[in-house]
Amino acid sequence: MNSLESLLKKAAEVLQQSNSVLDYDEVAAFVGSILKRADTFIAMVGRCGSPLYVFDERALLERAAQFAAAFKETLGDIRIFYAVKSNNHPVLVGSLVRSGLGLDVSSGQELELALGCNCSDIIFSGPGKTEKELLLAAGHSDSVTVLMDSFGELDRLEKAAVEMQTRINAGVRLTTDERGLWRKFGIPLSSLDSFMQKAAGCSHVLLGGLQFHTSWNLDPGQQVKFIARLGEALQNLGQNRRELLKFIDIGGGYWPPQGEWLQWAGTPKGRLHQALLNSASPSTEHYKLPSSSITTFAERIGTAIQRHVAPYVDCRFYAEPGRWLCNDAMHILLTVVDKKAEDLVITDGGTNIIGWERFETDYFPVINLSRPSKSEHKCFILGSLCTPHDVWGYGYFGKGIEPGDLLLIPNQGAYTYSLRQEFIKPLPEVVALDSAG
């Protein structure tokens, strides 16, 4: 079979797949919960103008408490580190620190933010840490544990610790996929023994833990699979090596319980359609990839650890949730400034607010707070940037839409604020939602 025939066969297979349609009643119920606070959001714009980021601290802390309760039920003494990259707003980060969480940072810039929030329990992960970043970590060795990413980084961290005349706690990241781009992260499991042997010769780096991370986890399958592999590696590791391990970091990547909501273009069929025809049209039909509850994540991961890890290592466990904690903790408010047709309006905020063309594929309801309704209508909801990819949605919930109407895009707390861009239009300010609102 030649390459063209192979592609056509795969395209035919995609067209035969069924997509799980998002239940309209589920969305309408969610919209109804937002509309209960419509007056609060409208008053905020009256005071502060538009567009706005709205920070919901109560939602953030509720998520943190739910996550902690679920994993403490199955893993006991677990330490939670919020992944700062998912939303790096200082007020949000500081709120989690005050609630007792540690922080997971991936750069010197994020490390400085964590230190500025008076966090005393920080893990520094990520590949390619520079000499300057490692010196900063070593200079705060009382607060920072470095999760090393390579043999070379072990050498550089030892050098930094010697220069700062300190000893620093550290772990090593294990790559969960030795193929392709994911090889960028960590070392292979097969290299763990030799890495620990080399670390034993570094008198200023105290290797005491392991970390792994899988992303975009709609269910715990990937994590459970790697924990089984980790158990095999620990079984083959010498007892003297295993006794050095004081923590195992199970990473993050937990998908929020709402699941992943998609536009047509975000489904396999839709992506194929877009590639062939390069067209879009307003639609009120949406799709869903369901996700497991955090209780299910905790139960299955806890069971896997008891089966595969606990027989060999007695240690504490760390977790690095990001998206799961902050997804619901920030919303975006926009105002309609122009109605060019019944099915096309322009808002005062562009998608530089979120930093990427998210809503061409991802679906979040656009809610007209000025004309509230739990019925959705087809319409291009577009921003004011000079690009056709400036899309907020292909429909809105409301009784019509006109210039001056206030729109809300809910649950934009994860990987939006931290990806925002200074592009064409200024960025909004962040305003905290009154905890009583």
| 335-361 per-position pLDDT tens digit | 999 999 999 999 999 999 999 999 999
Closest to 397 measured CA to CA, from 50, 27, 3, 74: 27
CATH of the domain at 52: 2.40.37.10
Q: Is the pLDDT of residue 168 over 90?
A: yes
Q: Is residue 414 included in any domain, yes or no?
A: yes
- DSSP 8-state symbol, 107: S
| Centroid of chain to Cα 59 | 16
* Helices and strands: H and E segment counts in the chain: 14, 18
Share of residues in the chain with pLDDT > 90 (%): 88
Confidence of residue 436 (pLDDT cuts 50, 70, 90): very low
Of 326, 351, 377, which residue constitutes the final position of a domain? 326
Closest to 234 measured CA to CA, from 248, 224, 223, 220: 248
Amino acid in position 363:
Y
Judged by DSSP in three states, 104 sits in strand
Task: Kindly calculate the radius of gyration of the chain based on its CA atoms and give it in whole angstroms.
Answer: 24
The count of domains in the chain is 2
What residues contact residue 353 under an 8 Å CB cut-off, 6+ apart? 51, 53, 332, 416, 420, 427, 428
Q: Within this chain, do residues 219 and 309 fall inside the same structural domain, yes or no?
A: yes
Q: Is residue 243 included in any domain, yes or no?
A: yes
Q: Which residues on neighbouring strands pair with residue 217, listed in sequence order?
A: 254
Amino acid in position 7:
L
Higher-pLDDT residue of 77, 245: 245
Closest to 81 measured CA to CA, from 72, 93, 90: 93
Q: Is residue 14 included in any domain, yes or no?
A: no
Torsion angle of alpha carbons 112, 117, 123, 129, nearest 10°? -10
| Residue 437 confidence (pLDDT) | 46
**Mean pLDDT (whole number) for 421-426:** 94
Confidence of residue 1 (pLDDT cuts 50, 70, 90): low
Q: Is the pLDDT of residue 317 over 60?
A: yes
| Residue 205 confidence (pLDDT) | 98
Q: Is the pLDDT of residue 85 over 90?
A: yes
**Mean pLDDT (whole number) for 236-253:** 96
**Mean pLDDT (whole number) for 112-128:** 98
DSSP 323-355: HHHHTTSEEEEEEEEEEEETTEEEES--GGGTT
Of 307, 326, 345, which residue constitutes the final position of a domain? 326
Q: Within this chain, do residues 94 and 34 fall inside the same structural domain, yes or no?
A: no
Closest to 56 measured CA to CA, from 413, 409, 392, 323: 413
CA–CA separation, 179 and 166 (whole Å): 36
| Residue 77 confidence (pLDDT) | 85
Q: Is the pLDDT of residue 270 over 90?
A: no
Of 301, 326, 351, which residue constitutes the final position of a domain? 326
Higher-pLDDT residue of 4, 311: 311
Q: What is the mean pLDDT of the chain?
A: 94
Instruction: Give buried/exposed letters for 158-178 (b at 16+ CB in 10 A, else e).
Output: bbbbeebeeebbbbbbbbbee
Q: Within this chain, do residues 41 and 112 fall inside the same structural domain, yes or no?
A: no
Torsion angle of alpha carbons 135, 139, 144, 147, nearest 10°? 20
Q: Is residue 11 included in any domain, yes or no?
A: no
Are 402 and 339 in contact, with CB atoms under 8 Å apart? Answer: yes
Give me the domain span that covers residue 42: 19-56+259-290+329-419+427-437
Q: Within this chain, do residues 298 and 239 fall inside the same structural domain, yes or no?
A: yes
**Mean pLDDT (whole number) for 230-234:** 97
Q: Is residue 66 included in any domain, yes or no?
A: yes
Q: Within this chain, do residues 119 and 230 fall inside the same structural domain, yes or no?
A: yes
Amino acid in position 283:
S
Q: Is the pLDDT of residue 15 over 80?
A: no
Q: Would you say the pTM of this structure is higher than 0.85? A: yes
Q: Within this chain, do residues 283 and 242 fall inside the same structural domain, yes or no?
A: no
Q: Within this chain, do residues 191 and 337 fall inside the same structural domain, yes or no?
A: no
**Mean pLDDT (whole number) for 404-417:** 98
Closest to 209 measured CA to CA, from 168, 176, 178, 152: 168
Share of residues in the chain with pLDDT > 70 (%): 92
**Packing angle of the helix pair 3-16, 268-277 (nearest 10 deg):** 130
Q: Is residue 81 included in any domain, yes or no?
A: yes
331 backbone dihedrals φ, ψ, rounded to 5°: -125, 165
| Residue 47 confidence (pLDDT) | 95
Q: Within this chain, do residues 236 and 136 fall inside the same structural domain, yes or no?
A: yes
DSSP 390-432: -EEEEEEESS---TT-EEEE---TTTTGGG---BSBPPPEEEE
Pairing of strands 144-148, 168-173: parallel
Q: Is residue 165 included in any domain, yes or no?
A: yes
**Packing angle of the helix pair 294-308, 221-236 (nearest 10 deg):** 20
Judged by DSSP in three states, 121 sits in coil
CATH of the domain at 137: 3.20.20.10
What residues contact residue 59 under an 8 Å CB cut-off, 6+ apart? 328, 329
Neighbours of 343 (CB within 10 A): 16
Indicate the range of 54-58, 75-79, 203-207 predicted with least confidence. Answer: 75-79
Q: Is residue 98 included in any domain, yes or no?
A: yes
**Mean pLDDT (whole number) for 278-282:** 63
Amino acid in position 78:
I
Q: Is the pLDDT of residue 143 over 80?
A: yes
CA–CA separation, 233 and 56 (whole Å): 43
**Mean pLDDT (whole number) for 10-22:** 66
Are 322 and 82 in contact, with CB atoms under 8 Å apart? Answer: yes
CA–CA separation, 376 and 370 (whole Å): 14
Kind plus residue range of the DSSP H or E element containing 146? strand 144-148
Kind plus residue range of the DSSP H or E element containing 38? helix 38-48
What residues contact residue 386 under an 8 Å CB cut-off, 6+ apart? 424
Are 93 and 326 in contact, with CB atoms under 8 Å apart? Answer: no
Q: Is the pLDDT of residue 273 over 80?
A: no
Q: Please count the residues of the chain.
A: 437
| Residue 19 confidence (pLDDT) | 72
Q: Within this chain, do residues 161 and 269 fall inside the same structural domain, yes or no?
A: no
Indicate the range of 19-23, 268-272, 333-337, 354-358 predicted with least confidence. Answer: 268-272
**Mean pLDDT (whole number) for 156-168:** 98
Largest CA distance in the chain: 72
Q: Within this chain, do residues 278 and 322 fall inside the same structural domain, yes or no?
A: no
Q: Is the pLDDT of residue 434 over 50?
A: yes
Q: Within this chain, do residues 310 and 431 fall inside the same structural domain, yes or no?
A: no
Q: Within this chain, do residues 243 and 101 fall inside the same structural domain, yes or no?
A: yes
